Structure 1
Amino acid sequence: MVKFKPFKGVLYNKEIVKDYANVVSQPYDKISPVMQDEYYKKSEYNIARIVKNKSEFDNNPYTTAKKYLDKWLGEGALKQLDSDSFFYLEQTYTIFGNTHTRKAIIGLGKLHDYEDQVIMPHEQTLKGPKVDRLELLRATKFNVGQIFMLYRDPKNVVNNELSQLSKDTPFFSITDDEGVQHRLFLVKDASMQKSIASFLSDKKLYIADGHHRYETALAYSKEKYDPKNPDALTAYCMMTLVNAYDEGLKILPTHRLVNNDLKYNYETVMKELSKNFSIKELTVPENLEDIHQYIENLPKHSILFYAKEKKTKILQLTLTNDVYDKNLSKSLTDLDVYLLHQLILDTILGITKEDLAKKTYITYKRSPEGSLREIQDGSHSMCFLLKSTGVDSVLSIADDKQTMPQKSTDFYPKILSGYVLADISSH
């Protein structure tokens, strides 16, 4: 099913860039204008100058990216390996007081239409980001960011093999601005490469993060398709594969805040909520960080609701009626985030899918305590706090050919841009 192979990666030359921590960046869609400024200050070689730049040449972000890429290659700041390699990535991080290490392997994966049931999505995509990424790919002919994929390996075969490299000196070891340690090792042993590629060959890959980048790469591969060379590099894209059973694989919840532009009647909202949910009042914790414990203790099919009209109480909403839709799988209708979007945001508050796509009324936030503060200070009118979506749910929904609401999963930590680049041009 999956064709996953090593490649001649393009890496930063450490003699020139000195510190790899100064040249990597968060994925392009996470880079705010403030972060962009910070990345620019860190290094003249920071990958943000390619993945999300300031259009400083020709007032065009794509020709700007190409000029930076050509300049860095010409100066030797970026150098291509002489031989094929996989890349083994370890990310060590601490969250909620516990330290974890997530393991991944980077290589080139063959692109497939979703109908082939080899690459499995769980999210709907938007046109705008795909147009943007396609223009970047056309201009550079490089994969500069990662597509984060999951695969099923309950016996941990691949990670057990890769872990042998942990005792070696990594190509780089850096700590990012969020305190996450990233260690990259080159996997150049031919027998290990063959063993890993063979093991993965009968697996499905599930897109964890990077649906827009994947669909962009697929569109580009079709533009460049040559029936005389169906296995050209343009038929592949760079992927980072993580075992779905890896202990270090975590998904964080993304909470929803409703801004002050939405007009509603609080009493009417409460009356409508009571039709499908039981409502339990909880005291707002003195230390707002204790809200994490409230969320962890939520029973199944429950959501926390906090509104400016009742700032002394947080309301626990627990579903009392079965939600059944013959057109949807139970794996989807079981999701708390689906219940929130379908039964509350849409049905009660009148926030449509179009509104969500345009972010007209909704702000997304990782921090639950930060969400509460924004209601207390009047920045937003209400918020909904969720438990995280389970990895099993992501796989099941993809297998059932369903898609989740936007921002249903926040895989943490992010796979950074700049570890390694892939030249997919035909030389």
Structure 2
Amino acid sequence: EFVPDSFSPDLDRVRPGTVTVEQFAWLPRVALVSGTAGIFFDNRYGASFGVARPLQGGTFLLDAQADLTGFIAFPSTGAEYSSVRHFSGFGGLAWRPPVIDCAVRVRGVRFIDGDRGGEFEVRRAFGDMDIAFFYQRTSGLNASGIRVLFPMAPAVRRHAVTHPPGLPLRVFPVDRIGLDYTDQAGSVGRNLRGVASREDLLRQLNLPSLTANAYRYRAARGWDAQTPPAAEPDRVSLTGMTGFINTPWCGVITERMLEVGYNQIPRGAAYDHRGIHRNDVYYAALGFLPHFEAGVRWTAIPGLHAFTQDIPTSQVTDTDRMLSGRIEILTPKPGRPGLSVGAEDIAGTRRFHSTYIVTGMPFVYRRLAARVSVDYAPRVFSTVDHRTLDGGFGAAEASVWRPLAVAVEYDTEKWNAGLAISGPLGFKARATLLKGGFVSLGGGWSVRL
């Protein structure tokens, strides 16, 4: 579906990747400076210079960068390049709150395509993995998305001098691989990628991060470290966030817990193109912060092709991407109700949008564990045409054996019933009866980061 164009003339060719030389240096009592030269991502080459100043033990970080680049490509006709005269860069401030290994960052940016704007990002470190949600305002457009940095093996990279015997020159993969996703297609809001990052070099060397990760360092030294308590995985609904079947729960997923999975919604009960196409839901639910749950979901609609108005022969399956969030105001406990507010499909096309207020309470009587909720979904955004929850709804769940639970609910338009099973090693399975006669199957896997 994607062919080479003037912006990426070598898209379908084997070509050189990122090839750079980086250098960091401390100016005593002043700042950390960096320089990078070479071939970067997105067909850019040139040089980049940066300076960062930590304050109050790294609680605050002032960071600025200036890039001077040109265009380079390797099509079949030979190498093409422009002069190095395009300027991009940023200036920003990052703040790290106490206790949590998290960073809140704001930047003013001139992006590599010439557009100017601002960026707001909240980044959370889960050990060696980073997950960040960001929002950009540039060239009159609003863009939001997610960034994930995955650690690469080996986890411990010993120096040949400090840990002999060893070789003075060794070849390793990069320490982390980044994956970015934004809800805006096109050449807007793009930073220069592949350059030296002062923020990454100073990662987890600030006082808030060292405090939050003290248990890891104590465990590595063999000391009696108090590790975070093991948490029982929460039950995730068909929508990809904690709840019952289609309705949410008044709590949130346990902090640092991640669940990924898949649910298949039959066409008779699908929210998009009901009666014509089924909906395939791929989801990830994350305890991003204490009392805050974030959800990312991709909904594929097999049989429905995207871009057919522009490309009649398109075979690309239509896929909707959405971001959801829920804030726990009161934690539900036996004998005490909980309260939370949330929104699904916050930005974008809002094909699966809802905003809601949830209250409920769990009960325990001998071997019976149960929970009930009574909720309401108000119309906060009047311009939204499609809503998955609209008005009052409620649900109940019961379990006499911890791995097995039965639920029934009314999701503002239909009655549903479901069975959830929690297996070993974090694996889960679910089977539901939607609208009284449509069977939906799904499963997931959860892990504590």
TM-score by length of 1: 0.22
Structure having the larger proportion of residues in helix:
1
Higher relative contact order (CA 8 A, sep 6+): 1
Computing the radius of gyration over CA atoms, which structure comes out larger, 1 or 2?
Answer: 2
TM-score by length of 2: 0.21
Structure having the larger proportion of residues in strand:
2
